[in-house]
Copies of this chain bind each other. A is one copy, B any other.
Amino acid sequence: MPQSPTPDIRFEPPEPLRKIVESHQVHAALEWLEVTPPHVIADELARMDAVNAGIAFRLLDKDRALDVFEELEPVDQQQILEGLRDHSFLELVEAMDPDDRARMLREAPAKVAKRVLAGLSANERRMTSALLGYPEGSVGRYMTPEFVALSQDLTVEQALATVRAKGGHAETVYTLPVVDQGKRLTGIVELRELVLSPPETMVSELVVTEPMSARATESAEDAARLMRETNDLNLPVVDSEDRLVGLLTIDDAVEVIEAADTEDVARQSGAAPWSGHYMAASVWQLARSRALWLSLLLVAATLTVSVTQAFEGTLERVTQLAMFIPLLIGAGGNAGAQAATSCVRALAVGEVRGSDLLRVIGRECRVGLVLGGLLAVLGLAVGTIFASAKIALVVGITLVLICGWAATIGGTMPLLAKRLRIDPAVVSAPMVTTLVDATGLIIYFVTAKAVLGI
């Protein structure tokens, strides 16, 4: 560990930072930055080109980054911001070792983040916000930094004047976050309230304190579903120190929800989520998005081959049993898919939580047995028509057991996945179906052996 230097206004670093950064020595740069006081770092950054200054700046930890940023002249601040938005900065970061990249991508200070993102289009913002430490699918990737914040000690008239002065470039002026001196979110006020109130009213009388908010690093889907629950038009976004960094607007929230739903639907059918337009995708792209799961399911389905092989003797004696295999595993698969789909959806919209596991198991098992009982009546008829009363009995009993079992598995697996922090939608209906196929065959052959006495 290098020794921390005693603060010294004329501290002279041993080697210029520019050279270290240009030769991509991340660890040396980190050491350099650690032993150097903020005003010296600021001087050095001012002398570097925008992209390298950006790199050096992003290697600072959050508190020091803000200190250094404050030390910079406005023109040099601007240069750093441009460096962070530059395409070659993005390329440099992507070419780094994963360790170094992770170090680069810690959450940036709210003030810097807001200014980096301001003025960018939604697409540019999404790309750039990755570089500010907001993980994929996080609120930070979707928020707008272009809003009008108010302070609490204004009158309505002054507040409206602020909106008029600063609102031209804001993405929305309908929700106005209220912040304290340290830029911490303390409340929100709706433009509607300002417009409908007498001009001399104090903003503090209209403010909603302790508003809903989301952290920039949290899941955008959760934040969007929260907005849907509360019917808010805009959700304030804060950094880990509660400093306001942006607003998540309802149109972006709707986009997030729709994308999440599309992804869940794709997963449910055992295809990788394909984010592009269906008609724009080539045959190869469509095939690729489906190939992995289809192959995995086929490999898993070899279980059904070995189960059937194990009972080959039974089958040879009563070939008629083969006739009902597709019907029985089809029914089990359908019952399992129904249970899995409704549980995945209930989890997605927040009606069921991971902790409801045991209750869901109990419910789905009973639902499955009820449905199995119903199907058994039909199964008895089909079995009698196509084979014999004894085989019909086998089919009926198997249907009750298979449906109960399939619904239980279908209801359990999404919740288990949730507990294990896997996306429940990955536990798709086809996965449940394939699992139920193999176990369903065992239920069928064991029942057949017992009832037919073979």
Contacts and interface: CB of A to CB of B under 8 A. Distances in A.
A226 B345 CA distance: 24
A209 interface: no
A69 to B, nearest CB: 31
A410 to B, nearest CB: 9
For chain A, what secondary structure do more than half of its interface residues adopt (helix, strand, loop), or is it mixed?
helix
Nearest to A292: B374
Contact of A291 (B268, B269, B371): B371
Given A167-B196, A257-B258, A278-B343, 11 more contacts: A164-B196, A254-B257, A261-B261, A264-B265, A279-B346, A279-B356, A290-B371, A301-B327, A305-B327, A305-B382, A326-B441
Counted per complex, copies of this chain come to 2
Interface stretch (A10-18, A94-102, A317-325): A317-325
Interface stretch (A26-34, A45-53, A132-140, A330-338): A330-338
A342 interface: yes
A336 to B, nearest CB: 9
A338 B308 contact: no
A179 interface: no
A453 B297 CA distance: 30
A131 interface: no
A212 B315 CA distance: 65
Given A301-B327, A319-B319, A334 B265 contact: no
Given A191-B191, A349-B262, A378 B342 contact: no
Interface string A361-388: 0010011001100110011001000100
Which bracket fits the contact residues of A?
A: 35 or more
A179 B336 CA distance: 54
A386 B195 contact: no
Interface stretch (A1-9, A57-65, A85-93, A430-438): A430-438
A279 B337 CA distance: 18
A255 B230 CA distance: 11
Contacts of A168: 196
B257 A337 contact: no
Nearest to A379: B298
A351 interface: yes
A312 interface: yes
B164 A335 contact: no
Interface string A164-181: 100110001110000000
Interface string A267-310: 01111001001110001101100110111011101101110110
Nearest to A282: B363
B329 A269 contact: no
Nearest to A341: B269
A66 interface: no
| Of A195, A312, A334, most B-chain CB atoms within 10 Å | A334
| Of A264, A265, A379, A434, most B-chain CB atoms within 10 Å | A265
Contact of A326 (B160, B279, B329, B379): B329
Contacts of A304: 326-327, 330
B342 A274 contact: yes
A195 B346 CA distance: 42
6 contacts: A253-B254, A278-B343, A294-B334, A298-B330, A312-B323, A326-B438
A449 to B, nearest CB: 16
Contact of A325 (B250, B277, B322): B322
A326 to B, nearest CB: 4
B429 A295 contact: no
Given A278-B342, A312-B319, A374-B295, A434 B270 contact: no
Given A279-B356, A429-B269, A173 B160 contact: no
Contacts of A430: 333-334, 337
A271 B341 contact: yes
A316 interface: yes
A73 interface: no
6 pairs of A and B residues whose beta carbons are closest in the complex: A269-B341, A278-B346, A304-B326, A231-B251, A308-B323, A301-B327
Nearest to A329: B326
A253 B257 CA distance: 13
A163 interface: yes
Contacts of A297: 330-331, 334
